[in-house]
Structure 1
């Protein structure tokens, strides 16, 4: 894919190369970033497909370490100067920084909630006892188990087509997916229920994209930030990801968090809620907090500390049975 901005391209400027995973969703997300960047800067932008471990290994994410399996190859391509930018689903990013890489922009977030795609237009609550519900996310498994619906949670991996195809073929009764991905793919008409965060909190950073570049490429970083970065989205996801980091949990852990910018008495502030659960959903620590808009890191740390005091570490890292 090659895109051209509406402004005249400056003579001699090389096209900006965006590294992307090969899936339809990843290419769609990267294409949206490319279009916005091209429109804002007048530069040509091309997509470069990079294969990641998470794309070629079909094992459950938790068995692969979870954190970074969709990210490392794109970052390697950046550092090797094979691409200029990398676009990720932000929820896939490790919470720790990598030397030589800068998170240049977090564009405006899509709706972060989870959704159900079920046979016969059903919701989770309408599925019969024992119905099979597919998801590869321990977070979704734990929170859905906690609802006590009597459904059977089945591990499933693959792209959106593969997962929804298991419902249309009759192999599964339903799957749970991120609404944002279906929005970007133009497939919201297949959704049979949008899950309320009161029931199922999304993953930290869900619905947001991350645009990374080499730290040494300061001019491009500034260009990308001006064209794409959304301050409200960045504040919210920084808060959510700090909760995850302070709980010492990876991106595949059974942790949900959602921060929102709300209007306070003295201007905008952040409101964040989070949950950490045991893998079977039987036990959970839930907390919420609000704080200054300009200190998302501090608010995330505060909420995580309260959760740790309530036993979140023990839920996420249970002692082995003797």
Structure 2
């Protein structure tokens, strides 16, 4: 009998829920038993702003170290936390079907974004969300916060904040989507590249496990997030402003078509470059890269001040 697969996960409620979902899929589709192994990352213990401790990569590196050391067999991440560069010895073996990629508002008294009074305090840990909120011109006071989903919503419940903006996917996975007062239209707020998707990694040399995990892969989701991350990686070459991107595979006249939208903003939301592109899902990386290059040529390269893009090696948003 095969030994249980050891699945490395962060210890937060959202991370263990996501990892438990992947474990259940593995049991169902492959018949293998899976056990969760909690791994503490620097991002879990250091409450400093992410920009000062290395960005979203701080949630990933400890899990990858455990993989390479043979302490776990596979690891599950929120895909938007993955640095865009390849990791030596690590394979992105599966991208399961994506949850809702949109952002969501949890506000006092059931209010929507447009119903919040001028001066309302809205919390977010994301430069991307902060910039897009500012660009809406609603007169909101945007407050930087960190912490897990429960902590952030707690700031609304105890009156310290009027609302928080979180990822709809995380709230759904935790069974807290009933607390959402508005799901934000991507035309108002484009999500982070990869938001709502999970990444399942294992050692690149473990060919049998790479093949086994392929049973969890969802081609349309992988194509979408590949395009979004290609936009981000291209922009990182010349832009350090907040970035949002969303790709979808849709039915076109000649079969499946990949549609990508992206925005680069100044941190105060005053300036932005918005563009979109279409192409073949089989050329997802190329579609995203070309879009990023067009955005740089259209002025995104001038938006150089402020935090690094989400999902980069340097700065971004924490899970929620």
TM range (shorter): over 0.9
Query: Structure 1 length normalisation: TM-score?
Result: 0.93
Alignment match of 2:187 (pick from 181, 198, 203) = 198
Alignment match of 1:257 (pick from 213, 225, 245) = 245
Larger CA deviation: 258-267 vs 135-144:
258-267
Alignment match of 2:284 (pick from 296, 306, 316) = 296
1:157 aligned onto 2:146: yes
The superposition leaves residues 118-164 of structure 1 with CA deviations (integer Å, 9 ceiling, x where unpaired) of: 00000111111111000000000000000000010101100000000
Count of residues in Structure 1 that have an aligned counterpart in Structure 2? 305
Alignment match of 2:226 (pick from 234, 238, 247) = 238
Within 5 Å, which residues of 2 pair with 1:218-229? Answer: 218-226=207-215, 228-229=216-217
Aligned equivalents of 1:111, 1:37: Cα separation in 2:
21
The superposition leaves residues 283-320 of structure 1 with CA deviations (integer Å, 9 ceiling, x where unpaired) of: 000000101121001100111111000111221347xx
Q: Which runs of 4+ in 1 moved over 3 A?
A: none
1:115 aligned onto 2:104: yes
CA contact 1:261–1:269 (8 Å) conserved in 2: yes
Match of 2:50 in 1: 61
Aligned equivalents of 1:28, 1:313: Cα separation in 2:
39
Match of 2:155 in 1: 166
| Helix, strand or coil at the partner of 1:247 | helix
CA contact 2:190–2:244 (8 Å) conserved in 1: yes
Aligned equivalents of 1:88, 1:39: Cα separation in 2:
20
Match of 2:67 in 1: 78
Match of 1:247 in 2: 235
Task: Give me the CA root mean square deviation.
Answer: 1.3
Deviation at 1:42, TM superposition (A): 1.2
Within 5 Å, which residues of 2 pair with 1:1-322? Answer: 11=1, 13-226=2-215, 228-248=216-236, 254-317=242-305
CA contact 2:129–2:189 (8 Å) conserved in 1: yes
Q: 1:67 to 1:24 in 2, by over 3 A?
A: closer
Aligned equivalents of 2:15, 2:301: Cα separation in 1:
33
Aligned equivalents of 1:270, 1:124: Cα separation in 2:
30
Deviation at 1:253, TM superposition (A): 5.3
Aligned equivalents of 1:278, 1:62: Cα separation in 2:
16
| Helix, strand or coil at the partner of 2:57 | coil
Match of 1:6 in 2: none
| Structure 1 residues without counterparts, runs of 5 or longer | 1-10
CA contact 1:273–1:289 (8 Å) conserved in 2: yes
| Structure 2 residues without counterparts, runs of 5 or longer | 307-320
Match of 2:317 in 1: none
Q: 1:249 to 1:132 in 2, by over 3 A?
A: farther
Match of 2:310 in 1: none
Aligned equivalents of 1:63, 1:279: Cα separation in 2:
17
CA contact 1:115–1:176 (8 Å) conserved in 2: yes
| Helix, strand or coil at the partner of 1:256 | strand
Q: 1:98 to 1:19 in 2, by over 3 A?
A: same
Max radius of gyration: which structure? 1
CA contact 2:123–2:145 (8 Å) conserved in 1: yes
| Helix, strand or coil at the partner of 1:154 | strand
CA contact 1:204–1:256 (8 Å) conserved in 2: yes
